[in-house]
Amino acid sequence: MLEFPKDFAWGAATSGPQSEGNFHKPNQNVFDYWFEKKPDDFYDGVGPDEASNFYNDYQKDIPLMAQAGIKALRTSIQWSRLIKNLDTGEVDPDGVEFYNNVIDCLLKNGVEPYINLFHFDLPVKLYQEFGGWESKHVTDLFADYAEKCFELFGNRVKNWFTFNEPKVILDGEYLYQFHYPLRVDGPASVQVAYNLNLASAKAIEKFKNWKKKSNSNARIGTILNLTPAYPATNDPEDVKAAKFATMWDDNMFLDPAVLGHFPADLVKILDNAGVLWESTPEELKLIAENTVDVLGVNFYHPERVKRPSVSPKSLQDWMPDIYFDNYEMPGRVMNVDKGWEIYPQTLYDIAINIRDNYRNIPWFVSENGMGVSREERFMKNGVIQDDYRINFIREHLVQLHKGIAAGSNCHGYFVWTAIDCWSWKNAYRNRYGLIRDDIHTQTKTLKKSAHWYSKVSSTNKIE
């Protein structure tokens, strides 16, 4: 048996826009708006309107999560639900009541709330009026919204996070067209990356001021999807490509969050290409002085790259992937439904990297899990027999345990997700939950993995 550290947090992660539904919100977020305008862009025409009905079902859903061994839930507050007037920051009373009730219900059921402030769901008005995250004004509005959250809920929430996967905002919205507004603009993505780091630092500054006034022992962090890039070979050009991919995908957010500065080699490359972000000494000082207390790491699959087939010196529009090509390793194990390689060893490599290069900061696995399509094929006697999910989680926990034994300061593991949830463009095509949601009836039942996870959580051990 492998035993995990005392007080190890066994949890699950979800988000407001993927679980709550669009009920009684004073503002639309970008996905609400996109679905209203182009429902055919979404898998099976299923949008975020109802999601997993957590808005109406949370009093039943949370005890079910506790049955599944979930002792901590990482979810998010929807900016578009909490704030009525996006210009003045006036709150919506119904939104305040809802989040108060959810937090109270979590605590009543012995589930610790881990609250994230942003999960891809910018109010669409901030795109339409200011250009979204390209605007530094929006970074100020975000910090003000964050401050409201600390003031409203900070007496019960001890774990706060500014962003979930900021890198995906670049990929989906500005590079590869899988999130609204579906743009392809490499230089804009560079400025957005900087502004997201700036917004996080501004929110952390607000948190520090609030914490001092309220005498709180809460902590604040950020959630990053880390995919360190493995070179296809030891050829220097492949290694160079992997170094850039890691700096762009991981270190562009990891370094400012933990170390307070951007990677010097990345800054040099972007500057030489004429695409470096606009910044001021005052902003860089603010980023340096407002690093995170804790780091959440989302991990699903590794990244493998090789030297680009076309030189980045060629006449072409600037995109980050002009410096590398993706590489598919022969014989790899795959989740074929998702198109992702399964390689648990990366979780160990991440643990050692954090230990050696990032001050061995306290961290936890904030998302890890496996979803497949047509999960009903595994139904037997009314229960989903999802052994594939159990095996996936166990294999990753073995590698995580190895990293902890080597001295990495990891204190938790959160599976994605608690209850099958709506997934951006893909709706319910791939199911990730420990708990099944029949979306036609909103009937929720424990899968085999939920019973297994409950045992792991209660014993703090895995075989």
Catalytic residues: 165, 367
- Residue 185 burial (C-beta neighbours within 10 Å; 0-12, 13-18, 19+): middle
CA distance 362 to 224: 14
The alpha-carbon radius of gyration of the chain (Å, integer) is 21
Q: What is the distance of C-alpha 1 from the center of its chain? A: 30
Q: Are 203 and 146 in contact (CB under 8 A)?
A: yes
Amino acid at 192: V
From 263, 255, 266, select the one nearest 353 (Cα to Cα). Answer: 255
What is the residue-wise DSSP string for 159-219? EEEEEE-HHHHHIIIIISSSSTT----HHHHHHHHHHHHHHHHHHHHHHHHHHHHHT---E
From 6, 71, 50, select the one nearest 434 (Cα to Cα). Answer: 71
- Residue 176 burial (C-beta neighbours within 10 Å; 0-12, 13-18, 19+): middle
CA distance 103 to 156: 8
Which two tokens mark 63?
């005890």
Q: Are 63 and 419 in contact (CB under 8 A)?
A: no
CA distance 280 to 41: 39
Which two tokens mark 190?
């560079």
State phi, psi for 284 to the nearest 5 degrees: -65, -35
CA distances to 8, 237, 280 from 411, rounded to whole Å, are: 5, 37, 36
CA distance 119 to 163: 6
Q: Helix 387-405 crosses helix 345-357 at what angle (to 10 degrees)?
A: 30
**DSSP 3-state of 2:** strand
From 90, 145, 119, 117, select the one nearest 30 (Cα to Cα). Answer: 119
Other C-beta atoms closer than 10 Å to the C-beta of 213 total 10
**DSSP 3-state of 116:** strand
